[in-house]
Amino acid sequence: MKITDIRYERLEGVYELSAGHAVARQVGALDIYPEYRQRGSRHPQPTAGSDSVPIREAYVFIDTDEGITGLFGPIYEDQTFQIERHLRPHLIGQDPLAGERLWDILSRQDRHARKGYMMMAISAVDMCLWDIRGKALGLPVYRLLGGPTREVVPAYASALGFAIEPEKVYEQALAFKQEGYTAQKWFFPHGPGDGRAGMERNLMIVRTAREAVGDDVDLMFDAWLGWDVNYAVAMGRAMAPYQPRWLEEPVPPDRIGAYAEIRRLAGIPIAGGEHEYTRWGFKVLLESDGVDVVQADPDWTGGISEMVKICALCSAYDKPVFPHGHSVLPALHLIAAQSPETCPMLEYLIMFNPQKQWFHKVKYMPEGGIVRLPEEPGLGIVLDEERIQARTELRWR
């Protein structure tokens, strides 16, 4: 089998919003500047009174001479540019089943391929190649990886975008529990620039969520790169009585020493790695003793091939991997092929993961806090033509 072509398409349609859909802002790294701190959410907001919004997503297709096409998406259009300009020459005519060889070539072909959008492009290609292998053998990817290690995968409710007023946090946290989720994650809106009042509003979210769910649900909290060491330590100590499962990404990802200091002083578990790349980046993070929980994202860190190596590395350090939930299927296949001790749960972004599956015929969503495993060969992405109102080929040549 040989790779014959690589194609990219932008799909367009209309996304139907859930009732009450609105996107609350979260703290971020740019909040050190007042004009950015005053901005609203970084996510698009629905038009008042509308129950639908336009949606457009990019997908990559890798064709073979045996009629099998690997498919992955949605991805950023920047990734399609990187694939076409930098990766395509190393893929055309090659054997798509020789995944280790191709990953090594793609990671070596440019000195800047080690991180950022080019590694994210390599990740998308890797996902397409796994899709091809699964389709060629008639098996879902987790079977090729040695799974399943369990029949279903538990998920935690990730509340990015949900309202953070105390009464709404209480209501939604309780609803998540009643829906069967045994863990949930909330996102802080304030950072150091908001002073003591902002810190108190952050702590109100922690207190309210714990009051709503009691002691039998894990609670996690995300600062999304928006704090500094002193603020994170103070918040960690104040949060400690409420027994958070972890505090996530308190500072930007390259500040490894700061992660280690926060972990040593804050008195609560620290999570990170969503914005780290490859096994070599995680080796540095693990050696620093900066995190209790690893959150590598298969969409970004090198694909499923690299995630398998990262999981093996983390298991040697006795650190669990909770893959970041940028998209569902790659993480679901990976988790289903790892020990439950290594990969305990799937992150499910309640507000955003349905949108990322909008153009898919088969959607993977938690029911009772668990997600069923795919049965389709490959990754299991099948496009729903009835929802695609327009297809545009992306050309970078």
Shared domain for 9 and 103, answered yes or no, is: yes
Grouping H, G, I as helix, E, B as strand and the rest as coil, residue 241 is helix
Please check whether residue 393 lies inside any domain of the structure: no
Which tokens belong to 221?
């909290």
- Please tell me the predicted confidence (pLDDT) of residue 43: 64
If you ran DSSP here, which 8-state letter would residue 298 be given?
T
Q: What is the pTM of this model?
A: 0.96
CATH of the domain at 97: 3.30.390.10
- For residue 393, the cross-strand partners are 9
Shared domain for 281 and 184, answered yes or no, is: yes
Please check whether residue 42 lies inside any domain of the structure: no
Please check whether residue 247 lies inside any domain of the structure: yes
Domain span including residue 65: 3-22+50-139
Shared domain for 205 and 309, answered yes or no, is: yes
The span from the CA of 339 to the CA of 150, in Å, is: 9
Q: What is the total count of domains within the chain?
A: 2
Shared domain for 90 and 191, answered yes or no, is: no
- For residue 371, the cross-strand partners are 153
Active site residues: 324
Shared domain for 309 and 367, answered yes or no, is: yes
The span from the CA of 184 to the CA of 154, in Å, is: 12
Query: Domain end: 139, 155, 189, which one?
Result: 139
**Whose CA is closest to 251, among 219, 223, 274?**
223
Please check whether residue 392 lies inside any domain of the structure: no
Report DSSP letters for 105-170, one per residue.
HHHHSSTTTTSHHHHHHHHHHHHHHHHHHHHHHTSBHHHHTT--SSSEEEEEEE-TT---SHHHHH
Query: Domain end: 139, 168, 187, which one?
Result: 139
Gyration radius of the chain's alpha carbons: 21
Shared domain for 186 and 296, answered yes or no, is: yes
Shared domain for 353 and 281, answered yes or no, is: yes
**Whose CA is closest to 326, among 132, 84, 123, 141?**
123
Query: Could you count the other beta carbons within 10 Å of the beta carbon of residue 33?
Result: 11
The span from the CA of 161 to the CA of 163, in Å, is: 7
- Please tell me the predicted confidence (pLDDT) of residue 42: 64
- Please tell me the predicted confidence (pLDDT) of residue 49: 57
Instruction: Decide if 163 contacts 172 (C-beta within 8 A).
Output: yes
Containing H/E element for 373?
none
Instruction: Decide if 296 contacts 324 (C-beta within 8 A).
Output: yes
Please check whether residue 388 lies inside any domain of the structure: no
Listed in sequence order, the residues at least 6 apart from 133 whose beta carbon sits closer than 8 Å to its beta carbon are 96, 97, 99, 141, 144, 378
Please check whether residue 382 lies inside any domain of the structure: no
Query: Domain end: 85, 105, 139, which one?
Result: 139
Distances (CA, A) of 87 to 75, 90, 114, 116: 16, 6, 13, 14
Amino acid identity at 120? M
Shared domain for 190 and 247, answered yes or no, is: yes
Grouping H, G, I as helix, E, B as strand and the rest as coil, residue 189 is coil
Grouping H, G, I as helix, E, B as strand and the rest as coil, residue 361 is coil
Please check whether residue 89 lies inside any domain of the structure: yes
- Please tell me the predicted confidence (pLDDT) of residue 281: 98
**Whose CA is closest to 221, among 196, 245, 195?**
245
CATH of the domain at 278: 3.20.20.120
- Please tell me the predicted confidence (pLDDT) of residue 144: 98
The span from the CA of 335 to the CA of 69, in Å, is: 24
The span from the CA of 85 to the CA of 125, in Å, is: 13
- For residue 383, the cross-strand partners are 360
Please check whether residue 217 lies inside any domain of the structure: yes
Distances (CA, A) of 357 to 163, 221, 227, 362, 383: 23, 25, 32, 8, 9
- Please tell me the predicted confidence (pLDDT) of residue 391: 97
The span from the CA of 100 to the CA of 90, in Å, is: 13
Instruction: Decide if 238 contacts 258 (C-beta within 8 A).
Output: no
Shared domain for 97 and 149, answered yes or no, is: no
Which tokens belong to 84?
């076409």
The span from the CA of 105 to the CA of 280, in Å, is: 16
Q: In the chain, which residue ranges form alpha helices assigned H by DSSP? A: 34-37, 77-82, 99-108, 116-137, 141-144, 166-178, 195-213, 229-239, 256-266, 278-287, 303-316, 328-336, 353-356
Mean pLDDT by 10 residues, the chain (397 residues): 98 82 85 88 61 93 98 97 97 98 98 96 98 98 98 97 96 98 98 97 98 98 98 98 98 97 98 98 98 98 98 98 97 98 98 96 97 98 97 90
Shared domain for 243 and 114, answered yes or no, is: no
Shared domain for 125 and 204, answered yes or no, is: no
Shared domain for 89 and 204, answered yes or no, is: no
